[in-house]
Structure 1
Amino acid sequence: MALKDILVHVDSSHHCRARLEAATALAVRHDARLTGLFVRTMPHVPQFVMSQLGPEVTQAQRRFSQDAADAARRLFEEVVDGAAITSEFRAPEGELLDALVLHARYSDLVVVGQYDRHDDNMADEREAADHVIMDSGRPVLVIPYAGHFPVIGDRVMVAWNASREATRAVSDALPILQTAKEVDVVAVNPRRNGVNGHGDIPSADIAGHLARHGVNAVAEHVVAHDVDVGNMLLSRASDTGADLIVMGAYGRSRLRELVLGGATWHMLNHMTVPVLMGH
């Protein structure tokens, strides 16, 4: 499958421009259509409160939401201006998470921002990446809130654990992997046998599969039982200069990861490079 439809979430956060620039560069690289989505949300105010405040409050809220949408449109058009791609801006009114998931289902890739708890304009986005990953059925590219990422996909690290989720992520990322200059397939603390076993040579089978699809993949594995998987992956990405990590998301229940921690939770909270996740 080629990347022909990319959806990017546009918001009022301080990090939105970097996210749009990354999504635009990716769309140019893959000759894809880029759709910017800004969701005009309305705060939930109890009816008895609204009856006391009057219609002026609702009107003011709608004006504020429309002004934010207009600013988002201007930023989107400013970033994509001059790029050799087809683009569209959408600003539906509704619930943020529902709208993101709905529009994501009609794209090949969804680009969202990492949640930044220090940015008040992202207050409603705490679970945005989670919901799109779990409910859209589409691969999700999460852009870190710190840094700029003009190039995504030259040097890719695939986090391989032989799971269904990792398999899905690799399949979803294939168009990106096929254009990459280098792909490192890394297994951390691999098991040899079982349904999620790696065989005698960890990562070798998936690297061979990717090679048959024209991907320049190298199989590696790391054994470090005293370091959690998330930290190991980020450390490895830093050492190799990876500009993208591809990994499966939520191989165990999301609630279990939120309580006990896990590679997905760690990556969403501590990522230093863009991460493409599949579920």
Structure 2
Amino acid sequence: MTTTTMTTRTQVSEFPEVADPSRVAPKDARELSKLFFQQLAVLEEGTREYSYARNTLIEMNMSLVRFAAGRFRSRGPEEMEDIVQVGMIGLIKAIDRFELSREVEFTSFAIPYIVGEIKRFFRDTSWAVHVPRRLQEARVQMARAKEELSSRLGRTPTVRELSELMSLPEDEVREAQLASNGYTSASLDAALSPGEDGESALQDFIGLEDQALELVEDFHTLAPLIAQLDERDRQILHMRFVEELTQAQMGERLGISQMHVSRLLSRCLARLREGMLTTH
């Protein structure tokens, strides 16, 4: 019997008896985990004993995954199953990378791995804009169909060709293509490749400045000032700027001279202008 075999058997005999690791209470799991990590550090990877220690650690610490996944319970029961499975990957990575020499609790070490794996899952699978589930599924199906047809035809497939392979109406294929634009998003501040004019941001190429936008604030400021005018002044403003009457037409309707209309209008506009300047 070799020295290695004797050492391994001695180490295995030091494993605590754990009938059902998944039912171990979190408090007990913390203490037991230390013992199993001690054994895992000296066992040879790939042996039956190593696998037993590693698998027991995974089962004992599943409560950490459920705890971390609880932060995302608003996602719904169907997605929670995926979240727990992804969290288990994080737990396994933490177990494989943990060392007792770090002098830190395994719980504190594992949670960031678990949460990080879950967040990575959301980053890779979540849509930037909410679309119906049927379109999400159609997008995945369309991606596979595009890959297959592109490989077979040596070119980008048409909507009709995708429709035939996916067994979907052409309208639904077009809808899925449109919906796929909502899968990812980019920041308007995202830097583009440097060009002749230097580095540019995405926002430099999207949208136009609305020249009338500045008028919105002016209109909000002007409304209460107009409300303070008397009935005749408001009537004069309405005839001039809404009905677009000439001063002569306004004078005829009001029964006053055109010159009188001009003085009244000038006085009214001066009052409004002063009010605007004072408010700003």
TM-score, with structure 2 as normaliser: 0.26
Higher strand share: 1
Higher relative contact order (CA 8 A, sep 6+): 1
Tell me which protein shows more helix as a share of its residues: 2
The TM-score with structure 1 as length reference comes to 0.26
Q: Point out the structure with max Rg over C-alpha.
A: 2
